Structure 1
Amino acid sequence: MSLSLGAWPRNTSNFISEWILPIGYFCLLTGLTWLDDRSQYHKLFYALMAAPALIAIVMQPKQIALQLSEPVTLLFLAFSAWALISISWSGTEDSFASLAKRPLYIFMLFTACMLMTQRNCSRLLLVLSLASLAIIPIAAYGLVDFATHYTPGARLVGSGALDNPLLSSHVFGLFCVIWLGWVMTSSSRYYCFALIPLAVLSVTLLATGSRTPLVAAALAAAWLMLCCWNKRALLLACAGACGLIILLLAFPESLLNRGTSYRLEIWQLALEQIRLQPWTGHGFDAHLAINVPGIHYSFSEPHSFFLGVLYYTGVIGALCWALMHGAALWTCWRRRSDLYFIIAGALVVYGLGAGLTEGGGILPRPKEHWFLTWIPLALVAALSIGRKQEHAL
């Protein structure tokens, strides 16, 4: 009887890791495309990932040691700690408790992914594969609906809670890079089967009319070519060059007519505000209003993740941010003999590329920006922990 009572925490934690967290991870990856609104997306994450991961880690606190053995996780905790310290001078109207929940949610994402790999990585990778398959009919449906109701100048948004073409491109872009990674890394017998999903997602990405994901996808492709230098890498380079030429010839207005969309002006004005407090930043959740001459409204983001990190947390926070991504990429590069690290690295590079001209808020609640930063980083950290455990066993 005492033995069964002693095993109860471990069995409960295992049940959460093997059944509840995979369902939550699948919902996190695909939920924005089939849920009605974002509040439902948040509630699903809290109910199926954040709360269960917290319960599991409380029941088996020794698992925390695995988390703290991973440099990416440690650097995330350092960045979060500095962001929370900066609240003391940010002048935010939100309470400390309210803002402290945000890094906790992200840490629970890291924890959930780690728990799914506590025996081996197969469960986490299976969910990632199922989500990548599920997104294909969703993207195809969005394309058919977009083509059916197309009007000049329209841009694809997508289904479910997606409501902005640029933000939608973050979701579809992540899966597009995953399928591109499978095309580049799978055996010669099977890689052709990944070409159709890759084509569907590539067209979906183009239909959003956003240029940011095209630059990010090109950078991710460069990472894949560097890691998999072979005939497919040369074919990918040629295909990318031909695709760019075709786009410039067939749809020049989609790439050139919108200019820089005020990005240069926004960045210049953001840098002027960053110079006022360069080292410590203005503080987490500080007010930001960028007024571009000729525009009758203010921008609340600098349209660059790195500039956002500089504005809110200064050079100190930006150093943690850069080291966190650098550690993730170094981990993937060292383990590039494992195809999943190659793909995970491509996702990190894609997020960095998209973040060059998009976003600016730090430590947000679950939303599309997680697909650029926190989902790829949590994947790298979990894969690294899982492979270490497999090697130890």
Structure 2
Amino acid sequence: MVYEKNWVQAWLGFGLVWFFGAIALAPSNKIYQQGLVVFLWLPALLLAWPARRVLVEAWRRQPALWGSVLLLMAWGGVSLAWTPAEDLAREAKRLLYIFVFLLAFPLLAQAGGDRIRNLLQIGSGLLAIAALISIIHFYGLQAQPLVARLAGIGEISHPILGAYVIGAAALLLLYQMPRRRLFQLGWMLALACLGAFVILSQSRGASLALLVTMVLAPVWLRDRHSRILAMGAVLATALAFFVMYNLITARGASFRPEIFEQVLKMIGEHPWTGLGLGAAYNVKVASVGMQFDHTHNMFTHVAVELGLPGMLLWIFVWLFALGEIIRARHTLLGKILLGLWVYSTMAMQFDAASLTATPRAEWFVSWLPVGLVMLLPWVRAENDACGKISGST
């Protein structure tokens, strides 16, 4: 089959690595988007017919997940009938981008679980390099004071969203320690760069999401490595509070309760239809005399745009993804994705508020976890086959 050929898998694999590393390392966002089209979207579309059996099998193995995704896409398309967005074709095209992005993952799964984990390691390693460059550029070349919030390079320049991307990369590396000593050194340096980025960004949401995930991880990983990391995370957090207490508490709750109160009123004005896909809006908080360009919460953002039906459909997507992860909890990738799911769920409560826009930082805590979950049926089957072979010898 053409989709099983090495050059095809290399093409798709490079696309996944590009998705990770180029978000920070590409010269511009335009080049990042164009690279995704060439390296991920295009091969997925070209292979859709030759690999139709794989895609049918993907639907057969995860009907609830794929069905909820398609229903969400369909509802978003219907909302174009009332959205005030100026370019309806662009909004519809973004839905297509999401769908094609997800189609790529069952095709990537044909390369095998080991190769997928290697690709995730390479992509996360590139983000570690981007984190190091960001730190040197911001505090070295720009001579910013250490108390300033780190702004990264490329599309991780936003302190909060950039920290979410880097935190996701850290989790994908954290529980995959290489066996060789030389590689272990590189692994530790990469994690040090990623962790330093999150701390220096002063993103309390990303830090809390990482802390909660690492503390809970021993529940499903059940190994000494995860317990040591959990204790280290608690100690590091205590040290951070001791050293950076004033910086951590200076911004208070960042008006999140006031924003949430106003957003509930906005949802109540259009509970069933929302404003429509791609609608621009501002959250005006009169009590503090400020306005914000989104809800600072993924679920309420979807409710504002697509109404309560859209929010419920996104919740279904997210919960069905969790169900698939739990089914694969005996595999290493399943365990890693459970951590990423917990982390992403936490992250979506604090800021990430862009679900249907072009690929950007928010995709690392929304569509990337969903896409990776779509690999799991093949990873699970591969793991079960290996178990039967080892059990019969």
TM-score (norm 2): 0.88
Match of 2:132 among 107, 127, 140: 140
Match of 1:24 among 15, 22, 25: 15
CA distance in 2, matches of 1:243, 1:176: 15
CA distance in 1, matches of 2:215, 2:183: 19
1:73 aligns with 2:43: no
Per the alignment, residue 174 of structure 2 pairs with 180
Conservation of the 8 A alpha-carbon contact between 2:215 and 2:233? no
Per the alignment, residue 261 of structure 1 pairs with 254
User: Residue 190 of structure 1: CA displacement?
Assistant: 10
CA distance in 2, matches of 1:389, 1:188: 24
Match of 2:306 among 303, 306, 313: 313
SS in 1 for 2:356: coil
1:34 aligns with 2:25: yes
Per the alignment, residue 272 of structure 2 pairs with 279
User: Residue 237 of structure 1: CA displacement?
Assistant: 3.6
SS in 2 for 1:361: coil
Per the alignment, residue 369 of structure 2 pairs with 376
Note the alpha carbon deviations across 1:27-81, whole angstroms, 9 max, x for none. Answer: 1110022112111111101111112211110333333202322233332112111
CA distance in 1, matches of 2:377, 2:296: 31
User: Residue 385 of structure 1: CA displacement?
Assistant: 3.8
User: Residue 191 of structure 1: CA displacement?
Assistant: 10
User: Residue 370 of structure 1: CA displacement?
Assistant: 0.7
Match of 1:270 among 229, 252, 263: 263
Conservation of the 8 A alpha-carbon contact between 1:17 and 1:112? no
Query: 5 Å matches for 1:1-393?
Result: 10-11=1-2, 14=5, 17-69=8-60, 70=62, 71-95=64-88, 97-118=89-110, 120-148=112-140, 149-151=143-145, 153-182=147-176, 193=185, 194-293=187-286, 298-388=291-381
CA distance in 2, matches of 1:189, 1:224: 24
Per the alignment, residue 390 of structure 2 pairs with none
Taking only aligned residues, the RMSD between alpha carbons, in angstroms, comes to 2.7
SS in 1 for 2:122: helix
CA distance in 1, matches of 2:6, 2:182: 34
Conservation of the 8 A alpha-carbon contact between 1:16 and 1:53? no
CA distance in 2, matches of 1:299, 1:276: 18
Note the alpha carbon deviations across 1:288-325, whole angstroms, 9 max, x for none. Answer: 22112366663221010011112122222222211211
Counterpart residue type for residue 224 of structure 1: A
User: Residue 151 of structure 1: CA displacement?
Assistant: 1.7
SS in 2 for 1:151: coil
From the superposition, tell whether residues 57 and 389 of structure 1 become closer, same or farther in structure 2 (CA, over 3 Å).
farther
Conservation of the 8 A alpha-carbon contact between 1:302 and 1:308? yes
Note the alpha carbon deviations across 1:211-251, whole angstroms, 9 max, x for none. Answer: 11012112322442221234444433432332222112110
CA distance in 1, matches of 2:354, 2:314: 13
SS in 2 for 1:251: helix
SS in 2 for 1:359: coil
CA distance in 1, matches of 2:264, 2:370: 27
SS in 2 for 1:58: coil
Q: Which runs of 5+ in 1 are unaligned?
A: 1-9
From the superposition, tell whether residues 231 and 163 of structure 1 become closer, same or farther in structure 2 (CA, over 3 Å).
closer
Counterpart residue type for residue 50 of structure 1: W
Deviates more, 1:276-285 or 1:358-367: 276-285
CA distance in 2, matches of 1:309, 1:269: 15
Note the alpha carbon deviations across 1:141-186, whole angstroms, 9 max, x for none. Answer: 3333334223254222223343322221122111111122325xx7
How many residue pairs get matched? 381
From the superposition, tell whether residues 218 and 353 of structure 1 become closer, same or farther in structure 2 (CA, over 3 Å).
same
Conservation of the 8 A alpha-carbon contact between 2:215 and 2:231? no
CA distance in 1, matches of 2:51, 2:332: 31
TM-score (norm 1): 0.88
